[in-house]
Amino acid sequence: KFLIGGNWKNCKDFTTFQHLILSKNYDKVVKNAKTLAKIDVFVAVPNIWIGDAEKLLEFSLGIQDISACDETVTGEVLADMVRDKVSYAIIGHSERRTVLGESNEMIQKKVKYALSSGIRPILCIGENIQQRQSDNFLHFLKNQLISSIPMGVERALLHQINKNIDSVNESEITDIGSNSENICLSEDYQILSEVLNTHLSDSYLDTMEMHLELDIAYEPLWAIGKESATLEQIEMVAQNIEEWMLKYNIRGRIIYGGAVTDENAEKILRIKNINGLLIGGASLDERFINILEIARTNSRDLK
């Protein structure tokens, strides 16, 4: 099914809920059982409104972030605290990466804790305009993805080992690690490859070979709140993400976020590798209802 998510980061009071619920198309689309049967829908509301949203909305709920801590810390919301309230967690959103300086290491922990709590992660990746204009922005996105999933580096190495490559190709995987730390020297990779290949237990290797169940949201920073990437740009990145997901045993959907509205949603959803949308401002008014109807009428069987 398509996954349509609303990120209600600017939801300040009940007015937002009421505006959506009272929109003229709400009864027609949302309360029509066929809509929710054909697509998966969630809204990620601010933590303080989760209880109210649970009572008022007929969508699944998400949370906009969870803690990277493995124990209770004042002010932090652990995944276990909301596991009975939400089905999805947005993790690694560009605003948290850039404004709050969250590292790939922190994001990897959040993904791990969400999975262990039965919450499905929506892992966000995306490049800024300078990275986009460089020759290696796909390389950046790949490293961002690998470094943000549990045992991502090991999974990358294991993929190479399974291809019977003695050492990792430096040009394929470099600069892996948080905060620009890297282990890109071929000697380091060869050592790690040998460790993985000869010294780790079968159970550890089995763990790395298990599928990770999560969805990837591609959100180019230069498009958020501005103008969406072109269909060709989205398709090219989505095709690469799909290849990386297959390599590193990630099972889930690729969704797009970045200036999504009811005017461009249909064209984006027709891209072969795009299986949903993560919507910001347009999820706070009637445009969200329109997008749900667009997704329903364009629904297709996904892999």
Please give the CATH number for the structural domain made up of 2-151+237-299. Answer: 3.20.20.70
- CA separation for the pair 66, 192 (Å, rounded): 31
- CA separation for the pair 135, 158 (Å, rounded): 27
Q: What is the DSSP letter of 229?
A: P
- CA separation for the pair 234, 232 (Å, rounded): 5
Q: What is the pLDDT of residue 32?
A: 77
> Does position 274 have pLDDT exceeding 50, yes or no?
yes
- CA separation for the pair 25, 235 (Å, rounded): 31
Band (185; pLDDT cuts 50, 70, 90): very low
11 vs 54, more confident:
54
Min mean pLDDT across 27-31, 78-82, 113-117, 229-233 is at: 27-31
Partnered with residue 125 across adjacent β-strands are 218
> Does position 183 have pLDDT exceeding 50, yes or no?
no
The pTM (predicted TM-score) of the whole model is 0.84
DSSP-based three-state secondary structure for 61 = strand
Q: What is the pLDDT of residues 147-162, one digit of tens each?
A: 999 877 666 666 665 6
User: Tell me, what amino acid is at 273?
Assistant: N
> Does position 42 have pLDDT exceeding 50, yes or no?
yes
Q: What is the pLDDT of residue 177?
A: 43
User: Domain segments of the chain: what residues?
Assistant: 2-151+237-299
